[in-house]
Each structure stands twice: as C-alpha cells, then as structure tokens.
C-alpha cells in the first residue's frame, strides 16, 4: 500500500507543472502578419471562427452600412486568375483566391461579422476580435472600422478556403490606431495622364495600405489637367503638348541634343464632373483628395493658354521636355495674376472639399522678375529687397483668399525662402532639411523627402540588368530605405509635434503607363505606409519583409496589382549597394 500511495503522490505532484506547461503552450503570439504593423496583436487561445463564402454582416450603426458596402467593393477582383505581361513589360500575377462576399443582415444574432462604433475609443482607433462568437470590428468612427476591415482582409488572405469557400480564422485580438493624421501619396497626372479608372485604382492602392490622403498633381509646365469653366483655354490649349521628349531631357546649350517623339500629347484633362466622381470615390474609402494648383512656377500650361499671366506677355508653348523653365513663372507684379488664381480657386474649392489646397511653390526661377517693371514696382512699393519676397507676397495673398473660404494652404519647401506665415503647412521634398527648418520655426510639416519618398526613383542600383528601364538619372531608392525613414530625425520632442505626417510621391516624367505606376509604387508604398501608421514598430527590416510576404504580396496578387519583385525573388542584392545620390528636379 505504501508503494501505491507513493506512486500516486508522485503523479499528483506533477499535475501543476503539466498544467503550467499546457498554459504556456497557449501562446499570446498570433500567427498572423499585418502591414502596417498594428499596435497590438494577440492570439485568443483555443478559439476560432468559421467564415463562410458569404459573410452575414451586421452594422450596429447606420453609418457602417456604407462602410460594409465599400469593403465588399474592395474585395471584388478586376482580373481573371493567371499571369501575363503588361504594356510596360512587367508581370501581372493574379491569384485564384476568392475572398468572401458580404451579405448584410439586420439581426446581430445571425451575423458572423459585427461592425460597431465605440465612443470610448479614439476616433482613429479600431479593435478587431476573432473568437468562437464570430468577428467583431469596433472603431471610434466609421473610418476606423474601415481600416479594421482592411486588416480583416489580410487575415482572410492568410487562410485557405475549403471546397465550399469556408475559411477558419484563428482567434485574435488586434488593437490599433495611426501614428500620423496625414498618410498620403501623390500621383503626377500632368507629365503623363491617367484615366479616371486608373486614378481610382491608385486610390484603392492607398486604401489597402490604410493611407488617407491622395495628393493630386493637376497643373504643370507639360499640361493643365483640370477643367476650369471660366478659363476654357486652360484645357483647350494648356492640356496639349505638340510632342514629348524621348529619354533624357537636355537644357541650355545642350538642348539641341533632345530627341522628340513627334506625337501630339492630348488634349488630356479631367472634367469637373470626373473630378467630383473621384473625390466621392476616395471619400467612400476615407481618403481626402488634395488638389495641387501650381504657382508661381511650373505654369507653362497656363501661360500657353493665357500669355498675359507672364511678365512679358508673349505667346509660349506647353513644355515638351522635362525640367524647370524661367518662362513657366507667372508675374506677381500684375493684379490680373491674382484675379486669375482667385477665379481658378473658386472652382477648385467647389470641386474639392478638402481642408487643404496645395499651391505648389517649388522651382520658380525669378529671372524675369528681376527685369519686369511691374515686379520691381511692387517690390519698391512693399519695401522688398529680394525677389524671393515676391513669391512670399503671392503666397500670402492666396493664403488669405483661401483662409476666407475656410481653407488652408500647403506648399513645397521653397515657400520658406521669402518668409512664410505661421499657418502655412510645408511639404519638405528636398531632403528633410526644409521640414526640419519649418518645424523649428513652428510651421506644420508633411515629410516627403526625395531621399526616402520619391517612388519614381530606381528601386535597384542596377536598373538596366533588372529591366527597370526608367529614367536616365543615376540614383535609386530601395525598399529598405523607405522602411527605415525617420520623420523625426534631428527634431526635439517639442519640434516633432509639428510633423503632421508623410507622403509618397510618384512623379511621372518617365512613367507613361499605369502598370508602370503600380510597379514603381509597390511595394515601397507599403513601407512608407507603415512608417506613417505604426507607432511602435518591433520588426527589423527582415521581419518587415517576412510580413510583406505573408500579408501584402497575397493582397497585391489578389487584386492583380503589378509590383516590383526584387525583394521577394532574391534580386534585392542590387537594392542595397551604396551609390552617390543625385537629386533631379520635379
């Protein structure tokens, strides 16, 4: 008997340890990967949810019905499964995965997915819960619920459906909110034009990355792209160039080296109704469209249509090559210039409800201002000692006009040169230095330095051998440099409070087709989106790439988005070498 009791004692004494081991095996680490990386993601032990091929969805708040409908739209496939070559000779891969349909129900007890507003949460915050009771997405406002649904789409893509289209999601709780209020991307539709449907696809690319601002570059030396009814020649004349430079653009004494294609380009522009359609499409995805109307430089499109905007009033042509043009600068000494912009902005503000209007301000040579009698007379009247103050004067007048309409201005960092009002927001593109200077003097800043955020730059340092075949300049921006961007570099904690966010820019001098836009944008947009969204990133670069492979590559291939494969197919060795950086003009 003693032997029996001794054995029983030994068995019983081991039970707590066994129980502890069992509990330890139920890890809080989730198997799922998300991009951007969320604030918190934890597994729910011994819990899962079956997701049918059509998800019964309950919206606890009426505002979430539209959110659910838009989310359902974002899961619609555009292309048939398969692999093909695109116009720019890139590869489009479309997976055979089919995500669930969404069916709304007015009974919570019948739902697998429940959407709700939680007023105790911050407006931008969401909580996504998957457990045996189903899936719940709660947010402080509808936009946060929409972002939570983008995370749910990534989870669904990481689970394979059975023959009936049913998926089994493991239990998880995700709590998340964005780092910055401005998480944007620019598309240049002036150098090369993109259709309404292509612009909508670009907006969808922002949405899957939880970005919330589309900066729409609409006016340029090479073409004016938005209908202004009071000035019809802007699109009749300003949206057409007689030809386009092929390859490198030479200037000055070397301009005779330029080779042109001899093909008229245009008329290409967006009607006001088309612009409103795009604004509405973006708004449904909680993306604000900020239009950019360039001034005082990059205005040859406008000057070709209305020569009196320039200092000399002579007829000029829409630019056929890339670069910066002294002839493309309007005259700040003429009162008619201000009337023109006020008229244009009246119509722009009627189309775009955004709080901010971008007024450009970059690369405006002041050569003609130095010899213009009207400009010099204005300088004398205002007591200015340098021509840069004329640009500041123009900016201030336009800002006051927009402020009176309840709007604010954003300008490229050159607006700092002649002095800028405290209420202007500065977009720092010539490296981070403009943003640093602006933040130190108390201006709000959007960081978009070319060193980290210009997605028209080569993705590798060996573009010819890897088929990038893009621009003739010798600089590149690999994915890792985007991922490692620190918007707060060289700023104190107090100065960092003036950084509103960051932005990826896709300039299109050498990007002619939309598949090429996608190729240059993805996956680098996702890296910058993570910098803009994630407050506490715990992964190193290798960890980020691993999450990209699990979460974003399946997303790209589900939608048929063309993306650069270099990091994922092993050729990224060409994307890490050091090379002298050369900054081109816009």
The pLDDT of residue 418 is: 84
The pLDDT of residue 25 is: 53
pLDDT higher than 50, residue 11: no
**For 541-567, what is each residue's pLDDT tens digit?**
999 999 999 999 999 999 999 999 999
User: Average of pLDDT values for 314-342?
Assistant: 97
Q: Where in the chain is the domain with CATH 3.30.379.10?
A: 27-176
**For 192-211, what is each residue's pLDDT tens digit?**
999 999 999 999 999 999 99
* φ, ψ (nearest 5 deg) of residue 104: -75, 140
User: Average of pLDDT values for 270-299?
Assistant: 98
User: Comparing 180 with 580, which gets the higher pLDDT?
Assistant: 180
Q: Where in the chain is the domain with CATH 3.20.20.80?
A: 182-575
Please compute Rg for the chain using Cα positions: 27
User: Comparing 309 with 471, which gets the higher pLDDT?
Assistant: 309
The pLDDT of residue 575 is: 47
DSSP label at 90? P
- The 3-state DSSP class for residue 479 equals helix
The pLDDT of residue 3 is: 54
Distance from C-alpha of 67 to C-alpha of 58, rounded to nearest angstrom: 11
The pLDDT of residue 583 is: 40
- The 3-state DSSP class for residue 248 equals coil
- Architecture, CATH, for domain 182-575: Alpha-Beta Barrel (3.20)
- pLDDT band of 581, cuts 50, 70, 90: very low
Give the list of residues 6+ apart from residue 88 with CB closer than 8 angstroms, or none: 512, 513, 515, 516, 519
- The 3-state DSSP class for residue 305 equals helix
Q: Roughly how many angstroms between the first and final C-alpha of the chain, as a whole number?
A: 91
Q: How many Cα atoms are found within 13 Å in the side-chain-facing hemisphere of 56?
A: 10
Distance from C-alpha of 433 to C-alpha of 251, rounded to nearest angstrom: 27
- pLDDT band of 538, cuts 50, 70, 90: confident
- Architecture, CATH, for domain 27-176: 2-Layer Sandwich (3.30)
Helix, strand and coil in the chain, % to nearest 5: 40, 20, 40
- pLDDT band of 440, cuts 50, 70, 90: very high
The pLDDT of residue 573 is: 58
Task: Give the tokens for residue 46.
Answer: 């011994």
User: Average of pLDDT values for 404-421?
Assistant: 93
Mean of pLDDT over the chain: 92
**Which residue carries 């400009």 as its tokens?**
375
The pLDDT of residue 476 is: 83
User: Average of pLDDT values for 291-298?
Assistant: 98
Q: How many helices (H) and strands (E) does the chain have?
A: 21, 19
The pLDDT of residue 473 is: 67
pLDDT higher than 80, residue 18: no
Is 130 within 8 Å of 74 (Cβ atoms)?
A: no
Query: What is the widest separation between alpha-carbon atoms in the chain?
Result: 117
Distance from C-alpha of 567 to C-alpha of 206, rounded to nearest angstrom: 21
**For 223-257, what is each residue's pLDDT tens digit?**
999 999 999 999 999 999 999 998 778 888 888 88
User: Comparing 4 with 244, which gets the higher pLDDT?
Assistant: 244
**For 54-90, what is each residue's pLDDT tens digit?**
999 999 999 999 999 999 999 999 999 999 999 988 9
The pLDDT of residue 397 is: 97
Is 144 within 8 Å of 123 (Cβ atoms)?
A: yes
The pLDDT of residue 462 is: 76
pTM of the model: 0.93
The pLDDT of residue 364 is: 94
**For 339-391, what is each residue's pLDDT tens digit?**
999 999 999 999 999 999 999 999 999 999 999 999 999 999 999 999 999 99
């Amino acid at each position: 008997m003693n032997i029996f009791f001794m054995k029983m004692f030994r068995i019983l004494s081991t039970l707590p340890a066994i129980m502890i081991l069992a509990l330890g095996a139920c890890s809080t680490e989730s198997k799922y990967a998300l991009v951007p990386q969320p604030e918190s993601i934890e597994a729910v032990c011994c819990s899962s949810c079956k997701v049918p091929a059509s998800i019964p969805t309950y919206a606890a708040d009426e505002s979430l019905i539209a959110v659910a409908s838009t989310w359902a739209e974002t899961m619609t496939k555009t292309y048939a499964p398969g692999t093909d070559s695109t116009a720019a000779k890139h590869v489009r891969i479309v997976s055979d995965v089919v995500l669930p349909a969404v069916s709304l129900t007015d009974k919570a007890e019948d739902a697998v997915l429940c959407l709700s507003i939680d007023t105790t949460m911050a407006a931008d915050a969401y909580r996504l819960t998957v457990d045996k009771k189903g899936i719940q997405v709660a947010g402080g406002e509808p936009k946060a619920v929409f972002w939570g649904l983008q995370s749910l789409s990534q989870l669904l893509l990481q689970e394979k459906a059975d023959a009936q289209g049913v998926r089994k999601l493991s239990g998880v709780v995700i709590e998340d909110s964005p780092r910055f209020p401005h998480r944007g991307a620019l598309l240049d539709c002036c150098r090369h034009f993109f259709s309404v449907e292509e612009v909508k696809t670009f907006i969808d690319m922002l949405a899957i990355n939880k970005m919330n601002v589309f900066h729409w570059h609409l006016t340029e030396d090479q073409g004016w792209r938005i209908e202004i009814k009071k000035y019809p020649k802007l699109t009749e004349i300003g949206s057409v160039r007689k030809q386009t430079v092929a390859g490198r653009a030479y200037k000055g004494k070397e301009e005779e080296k330029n080779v042109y294609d001899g093909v008229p380009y245009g008329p290409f522009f967006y009607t006001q109704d088309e612009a409103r359609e795009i604004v509405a499409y973006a708004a449904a995805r909680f993306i604000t469209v900020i239009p950019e109307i360039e001034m005082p430089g990059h205005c040859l499109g406008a000057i070709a249509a209305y020569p009196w905007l320039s200092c000399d009033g002579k007829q000029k042509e829409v630019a056929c090559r890339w670069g910066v043009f002294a002839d493309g600068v309007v005259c700040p000494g003429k009162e008619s210039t201000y009337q023109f912009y006020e008229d244009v902005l009246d119509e722009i503000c009627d189309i775009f409800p955004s709080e901010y209007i971008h007024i450009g301000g970059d690369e405006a040579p002041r050569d003609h201002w130095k010899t213009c009698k009207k400009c010099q007379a204005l300088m004398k009247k205002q007591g200015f000692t340098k021509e840069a103050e004329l640009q500041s004067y123009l900016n201030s007048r336009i800002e006051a006009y927009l402020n009176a309409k309840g709007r604010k201005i954003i300008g490229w960092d050159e607006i700092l040169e002649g002095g800028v009002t405290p209420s202007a927001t500065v977009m720092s593109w010539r490296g981070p230095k403009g943003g640093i200077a602006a933040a130190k003097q108390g201006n709000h800043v959007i960081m978009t330095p070319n060193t980290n955020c210009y997605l028209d730059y080569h993705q590798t340092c060996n573009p010819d051998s890897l088929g990038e075949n893009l621009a003739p300049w010798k600089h590149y921006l690999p994915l890792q440099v985007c991922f490692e961007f620190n918007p707060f570099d060289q700023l104190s904690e107090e100065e960092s409070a003036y950084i509103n966010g960051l932005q990826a820019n896709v300039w299109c001098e050498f990007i002619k087709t939309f598949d090429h836009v996608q190729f240059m944008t993805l996956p680098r947009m996702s890296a910058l989106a993570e910098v803009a969204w994630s407050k506490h990133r715990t992964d190193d670069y290798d960890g980020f790439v691993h999450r990209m492979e699990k979460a974003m590559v399946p997303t790209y291939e589900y939608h048929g988005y063309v993306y650069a494969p270099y990091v994922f197919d092993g050729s990224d060795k060409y994307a890490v070498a050091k090379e002298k950086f050369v900054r081109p003009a816009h």
